[in-house]
Structure 1
């Protein structure tokens, strides 16, 4: 067995480069076979070898099927016959029921039953525990089984340098991401190089718990054209324990007048209103704006009109656009997770960016202290990072940066758990609110959440209880200011929690019971 000192030494030598070596697999090297060693393998033994048995120093290994493994002249044999195509093998290992070999260059391979596939040394373990750090630990293993090491202040992944790092004092595995801290104290998070040009983006320490101001955690979505009176809305929301209501409008006078009446009623009732400004990337003819300037101009005018109307009635929160990253014009494929900037349409990106910037600036021109949110879906950190850094999906930089006061997100059941959201489709999961907290440093809102429209009332009720429990537990560590259920009334049982003032019993009771038992303080 490899001694511990030897084993740890392999990790640091050349930044862990032994992990990438291809030695140990491939074509034969022509060495003659030690027939006596092969003959030993022809006999079957009944008792499996102990986990951790290695050749050398052992002369053979017996697996849990009774097969006997030997090593002769650098080749691996199973019951006297060559097991696959191996050469220059330095070690054969039996570990937790599996058979592995290691080449002279350090690369490990696992036996599948018919061939060898590359892997890590199984004795290193699987994915590292949350909060593992370097140099306290000799290595970190992420969810892709990549091994991260820190040598002389430089970060290595599977033996290769990762971007341009130096004087690194700490590497951290947290929330499904790799982070590092320089000697000056600044933190950085590792992102897919296809996301933005830099592999490391500045952030804060993701372990720091951040709690938003209490009083707006439980929220509900609605529509400007409901037949409910503002007084009815106030009564229903208070009965359910909600303090925040999200409603959208354009600068159309009919829509604005309806939302103003709600704002008036909410102001006197002490409820908060998040006004969604529904300006998008399309002009009045349904065509994508010709460029960033045209989109900005239209969005600025729309937002300024909306904010002017709402300002007298205590509205201080606005969401600038609804799912703009998920329009036909902006996402390359709706099945993409959105964790890469290249998931989005490079041609129409300026129009989207212009619309977002225009809405934020339009609101601020009327209410300089108002808080403006930008909305994302699924795992759209590829879009969020590119907008924040002034990047295009094609990786070019130097464009206007979009800076928002609230990060808002939609999280439906089909998207996955937002605290364990999948990256790049089926890729490894990560904690999205933790990422956003550290990257953007502003409060986080889940402005739409629900399960699918075809689920039963009992399923939806259980989902409400489960999700609110998870949101509630995380609210004071991940800066989650509000979670807004979609929707109050959808006219049927697809999404709504009531129909024409009548509660849909199971989901309604689940929501109300949870808010009553879990105060927003």
Structure 2
């Protein structure tokens, strides 16, 4: 939580593509205040008719899209009205289809121009993406969001005519939530972890279609800090007024922090409210260096977690989040703009230290409270990290390493990351339903332990975002195993993230939040 502003500020895009300006670029204003250059060009271009459906370049020398913009190819890149359209290269074909522009690269991957970025897709001439929930049988094939065609022949799954990894005795293939799942003749389900890679590993999971509802009572949550000037009694009063029952607060092994959280826990226990305690231990040792290996990371984290759990156990704390955004540290992620859907997005050399911290925190808590629930949190679309940890894999693909198993999956979802129910993969696509994937893969409750929009937004925007997001979360709570959604943050000291300042509500966001909680019961 302490790096929130810094982290969001650096995330200008996900995956390998950057967020880019729209086709045509911008004109410059002359002294009269009128625009010139590209603006006049676009005004003229809109009078042009779009190219016939399916027109390809080559052999055509240019294409006209549905807005009237002119597209050309030069040096393996696509240009819109003479300006290179975003980050594109190695283009062998451009195509106009239903007024939209598609390109194909030398690897055979198609991308669609959205007006600002290229998003991975399939050849539109082959057909559209299959409806969610399509199965083989009864369908003869499935088309995923990349345009790949999946077939089932004699119990073996094929993608574009090639055997899709190591699979056999398959009785069912399912397209659900943006992912390909299958079931074998024994009834065991598997998910194809990366639909862009036909050699991807099939990972064991549950049937993603089965709705799962966690225990009611902790759905509405709020983030806070141990060093607020609010007294524990004031926090209780604020939480009740907002309709929240779960409070997330960070704590290291520093006695001052532990004592502050103990006082909050005492007050919350008496009031019938719950804490999710973030054990804020990172991958760096006391000298500021990444732990030298898994063993020293494990030992240090174990001791810290044991100390914290011992202090909090008498006051009803039963949920701990073991580390904060550990997959999104300078030492652990290869590039902050990566979406995290691939294990290779993460630092192989420092992976054992991170894994050791996570394992040590979980085991340290369990040594004091065997029945406590321990969570590991992730950001953006970090299923590449979560799968690798769950399966005992390294980012380099090697296996046989210690597995990290948690009781609750927690995730951070900010506006910049995209819709968590339709979140982008590396390279801006394909998109998938992340909570459904986690429900199927890990079989434990799901908590969105931080969510908010960006710090630059107005109060009106933030209020609308709160209402919209809570509505989406609430609707999915009993199908996606969502135990809690925790707004970040109660008080940020200003109006960038907080919902209050110095014990005074920030009107529009606070009203939007409380109106929703009061009209949508947590049951």
Q: TM-score range by the shorter chain?
A: 0.7 to 0.9
Decide whether the 8 Å contact of 2:152 with 2:173 is kept in 1.
Answer: yes
The residue number in structure 2 matching 1:354 is 356
The residue number in structure 1 matching 2:289 is 287
Decide whether the 8 Å contact of 2:146 with 2:196 is kept in 1.
Answer: no
Structure 1 residues 370 and 197 mapped into 2: Cα distance closer, same or farther (>3 Å)? farther
Query: 1:313-462 residue pairs with structure 2 within 5 A?
Result: 313-462=315-464
Query: 1:8-407 residue pairs with structure 2 within 5 A?
Result: 122=125, 125-192=127-194, 199-407=201-409
Distance 1:304 1:197 in 2: 42
Distance 1:280 1:396 in 2: 24
Decide whether the 8 Å contact of 1:280 with 1:324 is kept in 2.
Answer: yes
Distance 2:437 2:335 in 1: 24
Structure 1 residues 97 and 284 mapped into 2: Cα distance closer, same or farther (>3 Å)? closer
- SS of the residue 1:388 aligns to: helix
Picking from 502, 508, 511, the partner of 1:506 is: 508
Deviations 1:312-349, CA, capped at 9 Å, x for gaps: 00000000000000000000000000000000000000
The residue number in structure 2 matching 1:465 is 467
Decide whether the 8 Å contact of 2:163 with 2:198 is kept in 1.
Answer: no
Decide whether the 8 Å contact of 1:335 with 1:425 is kept in 2.
Answer: no
TM-score (norm 2): 0.77
Distance 2:388 2:471 in 1: 32
Decide whether the 8 Å contact of 1:195 with 1:342 is kept in 2.
Answer: no
Structure 1 residues 456 and 395 mapped into 2: Cα distance closer, same or farther (>3 Å)? same
Deviations 1:440-494, CA, capped at 9 Å, x for gaps: 0000000000000010000000000000000000000000000000000000001
Deviation at 1:198, TM superposition (A): 5.6
Distance 2:198 2:488 in 1: 32
Distance 1:142 1:194 in 2: 9
The residue number in structure 1 matching 2:114 is none
Decide whether the 8 Å contact of 1:337 with 1:423 is kept in 2.
Answer: yes
Runs of 4+ in 1 over 4 A off after TM superposition: 95-98, 118-121, 193-198
Higher relative contact order (CA 8 A, sep 6+): 2
Of the structure 1 ranges 159-168 and 496-505, higher mean CA displacement relative to structure 2 is found in: 159-168
Deviation at 1:192, TM superposition (A): 2.6
- Higher alpha-carbon Rg: 1
Decide whether the 8 Å contact of 2:490 with 2:499 is kept in 1.
Answer: yes
Q: Structure 2: state its 5+ residue gaps.
A: 1-52, 55-96, 101-107, 111-120
Distance 1:405 1:256 in 2: 23
Structure 1 residues 317 and 237 mapped into 2: Cα distance closer, same or farther (>3 Å)? same
Deviations 1:110-158, CA, capped at 9 Å, x for gaps: xxxxxxxx97584x63000000000200111000010101111110001
Deviation at 1:197, TM superposition (A): 8.3
- SS of the residue 2:421 aligns to: helix
- SS of the residue 1:382 aligns to: helix
Decide whether the 8 Å contact of 1:196 with 1:386 is kept in 2.
Answer: no
Distance 2:315 2:196 in 1: 45
Decide whether the 8 Å contact of 2:242 with 2:517 is kept in 1.
Answer: yes
Q: Could you say what the CA RMSD is over the residues aligned between the two structures, in angstroms?
A: 2.9
- SS of the residue 1:509 aligns to: helix
Decide whether the 8 Å contact of 1:195 with 1:382 is kept in 2.
Answer: no
Deviations 1:401-452, CA, capped at 9 Å, x for gaps: 0000000000000000000110114121000000000000000000000000
Picking from 486, 494, 497, the partner of 2:496 is: 494
Distance 1:253 1:402 in 2: 28
Decide whether the 8 Å contact of 1:196 with 1:385 is kept in 2.
Answer: no
Q: Structure 1: state its 5+ residue gaps.
A: 1-50, 53-94, 99-106, 110-117
Distance 1:487 1:97 in 2: 43
- SS of the residue 2:516 aligns to: helix
Distance 2:399 2:216 in 1: 38
Deviation at 1:193, TM superposition (A): 8.5
